[in-house]
Amino acid sequence: MDFDRAIERIGTSSTKWNKYRGQDVLPMWIADMDFASPPAVLAALCRRLDHGVLGYTDAPDSLIDAVLRYAAKHYRWTIEPDWLVWLPGLVPGLNLACRATGREGDAVVTATPVYPPFLRAPAQSGRELVTVALKETPAGWQWDLDVLERAITARTRLMLLCHPHNPVGRAWRIEELAALIDLADRHGLIVCSDEIHCDLLLEPALLHTPLACVDPAFADRTITLMAPSKTWNLPGLGCSFAVIPDPLLRRRFRQSMAGLVPPVNTLGFTAAEAAYRDEGTWLTALIVYLRTNRDLLQDWLAGAPRLKGFAPEATYLAWIDARGIDPENPLPQFEALGVGLSDGRDFGLPGYVRLNFGCRRALLEEGLRRLEPLR
């Protein structure tokens, strides 16, 4: 649990570290952390490998039990075992939600800036993408409900929600979710809520409330996507799940998977169960570490007049307004100084960059030192 320990990732085919291979650029882009997973997860994987036989595997009953208990304890959510649909990744879930709702040519609405697969999933599924911009207010990023309402037409069947939101870092409050539900209800929309970042709330006073729990009467119109992969840093193991209370919607979702979406791999199941059963010391320490990294970055930004950013309430991703550097394409200037970030254009908002601070503090400090000329 020493998050300061340097673990060499070069040579492991890490997507994050491969991108700038051979260049003196610190990779602070794709959303995985440079930390080892919790000891209990690694021990469970070793035990599973010691068994030696890695055949086809169903979702273990003990994993389902672990997820149900975790959701009850941490989200105050009673999930029925039948509601779970296991997926080898969360992004397939976004695409399946598009296919399982409405029909070809229908519209899917989402709010930008947003995690790029939200912007690709509708067209990949024969649907039309409709975007509305989140508002940047003095109090932080917010929904513009009037703009959202005007963007919805009779052809809109689905809303893709990111809760908490990547990249703006908002953990939506119950009132904000209730307003979205009200609107979705009036227009007959299904809402697919991507909650992959929900266990990484950085503000001690915040609790995660799944969209499906805000209004029990609306639960049948929700598809919730969750995974242990961000929280316990397991994205290379591909284990996620959808929670779909309505049997008809669940059937359509499963039908869209048929023959195309493989089952979760054996080690993914093993790691997920160990993660959901872990007693929590590792995660508590991780959140303290990430909060300190976030605060370090915010203090640095406070002295950088050409850069702006609200402190993220959740996860290890900071969304930075770099229009003061270049209103269209600031990323190359960060890369030229030796720091690799995500490009705001991919999220639907040019002039911004996203910085992943899920790394050793010394690496973050080195990154900020390199960026001094932009201050």
Ligand X SMILES: Cc1ncc(COP(=O)(O)O)c(C=O)c1O
Where along the sequence are the contacts to ligand X (CB under 6 A)?
31, 89-91, 115, 162, 166, 194, 196, 227, 229, 235, 240
Q: Which is nearer to ligand X, 115 or 143 (CB)?
A: 115
Minimum distance from residue 354 beta carbon to ligand X (Å): 10
Minimum distance from residue 196 beta carbon to ligand X (Å): 4
Minimum distance from residue 174 beta carbon to ligand X (Å): 20
Q: Which is nearer to ligand X, 108 or 325 (CB)?
A: 108
Minimum distance from residue 166 beta carbon to ligand X (Å): 4
State the Cα–Cα distance between residues 177 and 142, nearest whole angstrom: 11
Minimum distance from residue 373 beta carbon to ligand X (Å): 29
Q: Which is nearer to ligand X, 190 or 227 (CB)?
A: 227
Q: Which is nearer to ligand X, 157 or 354 (CB)?
A: 354
Q: Which two tokens stand for residue 360?
A: 């050793």
Minimum distance from residue 14 beta carbon to ligand X (Å): 14
Closest CA to 241 of 65, 88, 66, 32: 88
CB atoms within 10 A of CB 265: 16
Minimum distance from residue 248 beta carbon to ligand X (Å): 25
Closest CA to 239 of 262, 265, 260: 265
User: HEC string of 36-51?
Assistant: CCCHHHHHHHHHHHHH
Burial 113-133 (b: 16+ CB within 10 A, else e): bbbbbbbebbeebebebbbbb
Q: Which is nearer to ligand X, 35 or 300 (CB)?
A: 35
Minimum distance from residue 239 beta carbon to ligand X (Å): 8
Minimum distance from residue 225 beta carbon to ligand X (Å): 7
Q: CA triplet 36, 37, 40: central angle to 5 degrees? A: 130
Q: Which is nearer to ligand X, 219 or 226 (CB)?
A: 226
Q: Which is nearer to ligand X, 152 or 239 (CB)?
A: 239
Determine the residue type at 44: A
Greatest extent of the chain over all pairs of C-alpha atoms, in Å: 57
Q: Is the peptide bond before 117 cis (omega within 30 degrees of 0)?
A: no
Q: Which is nearer to ligand X, 132 or 325 (CB)?
A: 132
Q: Which is nearer to ligand X, 66 or 237 (CB)?
A: 237
